Structure 1
């Protein structure tokens, strides 16, 4: 009888330990999957936006053969999308068209009468400068005709420079409008 009781206690202990281990490893597995694939949909998807960005490399890791040919790239469409959305979050903007090339950011917008022309140009320009690397030239305009002109270039490729004349004409037209603060140095002053 004592032997059966002892065997039962051991068996129950093993079952409880196994269940606890399964729940723990399942949670660890979910956490690893979340960290490896930030686009994974789960109940903690919003937590990924709260995490800080961090990396730690050694010189040897960067000098590996596959790293030597690694280059940073900019997704021009995502950057244009981000800039336009950020500008539209400001009061007074009704419509924003943004084009990001390999060297320029062109922003044409419609604003309401409550927003001053120079203030609108400052907001649009500062937004682009805050998002893009410093070597980009930023051009802004409240000439709503330019929205369609910018849109006409949306299918162009940065590798195909056939659109250069059109781009130069749009920039020339944009320069007739107030440009706001265009350079990071200007923002710092």
Structure 2
């Protein structure tokens, strides 16, 4: 019995020593920070910073989040016939998008004020600039326009103006809703004034005009009622 007790005590002491050694090797870090569990490199799918069973209660700062890549993988349900729940798919928060565009736009040294309207299809930006010459105004318009294109989905068309009198028109549209019957007419009238008074920058590509509207080649020469700049050029707006 004495020999058996000694063996139990020895095993207990050995286990305690091993646990202590593991704790010392991790230097107080959580399990997910251990390279043996999650490697700190860009190739691992399960990133060591994620909040899970290894990092319970872990919260990252905005600076930490902005330094990371975004990666998400979705797999269809293994249950046959089960449909995707569309209510779980995120939609665009247009006000936050407008806020982001305006914030980025005013970081331009030549832009001192920017008001952005985001609808379901268009982005209208009214801004104040110290640019005077036609070339300088066009360059600033191009920079402001591309700021919006860097934020919104690619199907959007972007229209800009440095005409101070049109800022109120842009703001007035913000009180409307996508379901309003006359919203298309009001938007078209405002865009028409923007195109008349302000250069729209350079063409986005060989297949798109200054406002991101597809040309006839890309559309297969089918009429697109959303191409407001094209309608303006043809006198149909």
CA distance in structure 2 between the partners assigned to 1:173 and 1:34 by the alignment: 53
Scaled by the length of structure 2, the TM-score of the pair is 0.58
Aligned-residue CA RMSD in angstroms?
4.0
Q: Tell me, which stretches of 5 or more residues in structure 2 are unaligned?
A: 35-47, 211-237
Equivalent residue in structure 2 for 1:90, among 86, 97, 108: 108
Q: How does 1:1-189 map to 2 (within 5 A)?
A: 7=9, 10=12, 14=16, 17=19, 20=23, 24=30, 31-33=49-51, 42=59, 44-58=61-75, 65-67=82-84, 69=86, 71=89, 73-113=91-131, 116-176=136-196, 177-181=198-202, 183-184=204-205, 185=207
Count of residue correspondences: 181
* Structure 1 residue 73, shift from structure 2 partner: 2.5
CA contact (8 A) 2:51 2:59 kept: no
1:53-103 Cα offsets, whole Å, 9 max, x none, are: 223344556x87352636562221122122212221111100011101111
* Structure 1 residue 183, shift from structure 2 partner: 3.6
Larger Rg: 2
CA contact (8 A) 1:108 1:147 kept: yes
Q: Tell me, which stretches of 5 or more residues in structure 1 are unaligned?
A: none
* Structure 1 residue 165, shift from structure 2 partner: 3.3
Tell me which protein shows more helix as a share of its residues: 1
Aligned to 2:223: none
Scaled by the length of structure 1, the TM-score of the pair is 0.71
CA distance in structure 1 between the partners assigned to 2:108 and 2:81 by the alignment: 45
Greater relative contact order, per chain length (Cα 8 Å cut-off, separation 6+):
1
1:155/1:59 CA distance change after superposition, 3 Å: same
